[in-house]
């Protein structure tokens, strides 16, 4: 006989893996249809997931792609949560921090930059 693969609830796994601060946030994201399991959109927070499944979901301003490597027993520390998944999210080219080309801007420089962003023009 074939042994059944271990599974758990999708919303609980997202919370245990520390992708969301509360389980209700994870539940809402799944219920809104913003999570895909193995490229299929799911809307039920109780969807069974297990090791080998690939999840795609938004987190903040980026789209996360992770492969589940294990199921959690509890919501432990971050180091423990990182063992539950393998991050497949592609690196963004604009995520590389820009190097500073001079000294730190002064308060006057910052105000001038803020004025330019707001469309007012620099004040002198």
**Cα radius of gyration (the chain):** 21
Mean of per-residue pLDDT scores for the chain: 90
pLDDT of residue 66: 97
The architecture that CATH gives domain 8-91 is: Roll (3.10)
* Residue 93 confidence (pLDDT): 62
The pLDDT of residue 123: 57
The predicted structure's pLDDT at residue 101: 79
| pLDDT reported for residue 40 | 97
89-110 pLDDT, tens digit per residue, is 988 766 666 677 788 889 999 9
What is the rounded distance in angstroms from the CA atom of residue 60 to the CA atom of residue 62?
6
Q: What are phi and psi of 112, to 5 degrees?
A: -65, -40
Ranges of the chain with pLDDT below 70: 1, 93-98, 120-124
């Amino acid at each position: 006989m074939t042994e059944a693969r271990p599974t758990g609830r999708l919303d609980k796994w997202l919370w245990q893996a520390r992708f969301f601060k509360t389980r209700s946030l994870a539940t809402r994201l799944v219920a809104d249809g913003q999570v895909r399991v193995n490229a299929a959109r799911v809307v039920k927070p109780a969807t069974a997931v297990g090791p080998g499944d690939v999840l795609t979901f938004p987190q903040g301003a980026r789209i996360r792609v992770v492969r589940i490597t294990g199921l959690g027993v509890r919501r432990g520390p971050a180091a423990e949560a990182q063992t539950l998944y393998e991050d497949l999210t592609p690196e963004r080219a604009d995520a590389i921090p820009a190097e500073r080309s001079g000294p730190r801007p002064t308060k006057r420089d910052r105000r001038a930059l803020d004025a330019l962003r707001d469309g007012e023009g620099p004040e002198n």
